[in-house]
């Protein structure tokens, strides 16, 4: 292990992929550490005590300093490494728009991740049960968010202007999971042509394919009906309707 910052993550995690791609595109040096989400390493008390009391990834460790939540990590990296202004804005107004998106994202599009999680991961964790309420809620939130984003992308090339920013990476990797798991139907894409054009453009950027490789493989496995071995029994997925106290 060198003197680089440590990046604790898992490539199936949408927020992790957003930070990962930012670091690769900006040329930020880091030491990569994969956290075993499948076996619940992140949800052990020792992990929470050491890194993040919520048990979520990504996590950045810079010497004795630890920070979590993907927009906070990305903002810290942007300042520490003085990366190109487009990622977090060159002006006060640009920075405000990017932060505005990141705040909106956490309570809207991010919660739509439940559609992907409960369609493809829940069965691997808790077995063959009825997850229709979770899937329905996630898909509703996803489509509601897409309606807002479609309008935004009708006025600019990217979410916060005509240059790509971290807001776009944060959003794109949510869509990449839904793309990999075929959560968004052809009809859904057809109703949101601005989003599809934006999604296809970011798909062609440097590092997108490499960062997205595992989630595409996971999506293919699940679409083929293959279960992904997991020993974890808890979840931090958004959009749950599951009743606290039950075994899942």
Any idea what the CATH number is for the domain that residue 96 is in? 1.20.1050.10
The confidence score (pLDDT) of residue 243 equals 46
Q: What is the pTM of this model?
A: 0.94
**Domain match, 17 and 74 both:** yes
Q: What is the CA radius of gyration of the chain?
A: 18
Average pLDDT over residues 80-87: 98
The residue among 171, 174, 112, 119 whose CA lies nearest residue 138 is: 112
List b or e across 21-37, with b for residues whose CB sees 16 or more CB atoms inside 10 angstroms.
bbbbbbebebeeeebeb
Higher per-residue pLDDT: 203 or 242: 203
Residues 81 and 188 in one domain: no
Residue ending a domain, among 32, 51, 85, is 85
Span 65-71, average pLDDT = 97
Q: Note whether 79 and 96 are same-domain residues.
A: no
Q: Band the pLDDT of 91: cuts 50, 70, 90.
A: very high
233 within some domain: no
Rounded-to-integer distance, Cα 57 and Cα 80, Å: 20
Structural domains counted in the chain: 2
Mean pLDDT over 190-202 rounds to: 98
In this structure, what token pair is assigned to residue 233?
A: 């029994």
pLDDT at 234: 74
Share of the chain above pLDDT 70, in %: 94
H/E/C letters for each residue in the chain? CCCCEEEEECCCCHHHHHHHHHHHHHCCCEEEEECCCCCCHHHCHHHHHHCCCCCCCCEEEECCEEEECHHHHHHHHHHHCCCCHHHCCCCHHHHHHHHHHHHHHHHCHHHHHHHHHHHHCHHHHHCCCCCHHHHHHHHHHHHHHHHHHHHHCCCCCECCECCCCHHHHHHHHHHHHHHHCCCCCHHHHHCCHHHHHHHHHHHCCCCHHHHHHHHHHHHHHHHCCCCCCCCCCCCCCCCCCCCCCCCC
Domain hosting residue 180, numbered range: 92-223
> At residue 8, does pLDDT exceed 50?
yes
Q: Are residues 170 and 194 in the same domain?
A: yes
The pLDDT score that the predictor gives to residue 232 is 84
**What sign results for the dihedral spanned by CA atoms 40, 41, 46, 52?**
negative
**pLDDT interval class at 114 (50, 70, 90):** very high
Specify whether 209 is located in the same domain as 150. yes
Do the domain assignments include residue 155?
yes
């Amino acid at each position: 292990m060198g003197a680089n910052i440590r990046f604790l993550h898992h490539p199936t995690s949408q927020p992790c992929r957003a930070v990962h791609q930012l670091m690769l595109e900006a040329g930020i040096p880091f030491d990569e550490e994969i956290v075993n989400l499948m076996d619940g390493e992140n949800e052990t008390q020792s992990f929470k005590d050491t890194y993040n009391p919520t048990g979520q990834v990504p996590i950045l460790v810079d010497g004795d300093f630890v920070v979590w939540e993907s927009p906070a990590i990305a903002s810290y990296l942007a300042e520490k490494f003085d990366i190109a202004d487009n990622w977090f804005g060159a002006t006060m107004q640009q920075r405000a728009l990017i932060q505005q998106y990141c705040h909106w994202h956490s309570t809207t599009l991010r919660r739509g991740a439940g559609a992907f999680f409960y369609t493809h991961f829940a069965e691997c964790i808790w077995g063959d049960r009825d997850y229709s309420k979770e899937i329905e809620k996630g898909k509703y939130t996803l489509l509601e968010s897409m309606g807002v984003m479609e309008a935004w992308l009708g006025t600019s090339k990217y979410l916060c202007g005509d240059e790509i920013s971290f807001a776009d990476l944060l959003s794109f990797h949510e869509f990449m999971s839904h793309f990999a798991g075929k959560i968004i139907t052809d009809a859904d894409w057809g109703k949101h042509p601005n989003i599809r054009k934006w999604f296809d453009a970011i798909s062609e950027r440097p590092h997108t394919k490499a960062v997205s490789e595992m989630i595409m493989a996971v999506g293919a496995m699940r679409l083929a009906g293959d279960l992904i071995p997991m020993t974890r029994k808890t979840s931090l997925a958004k959009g749950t309707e599951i009743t606290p106290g039950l075994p899942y």
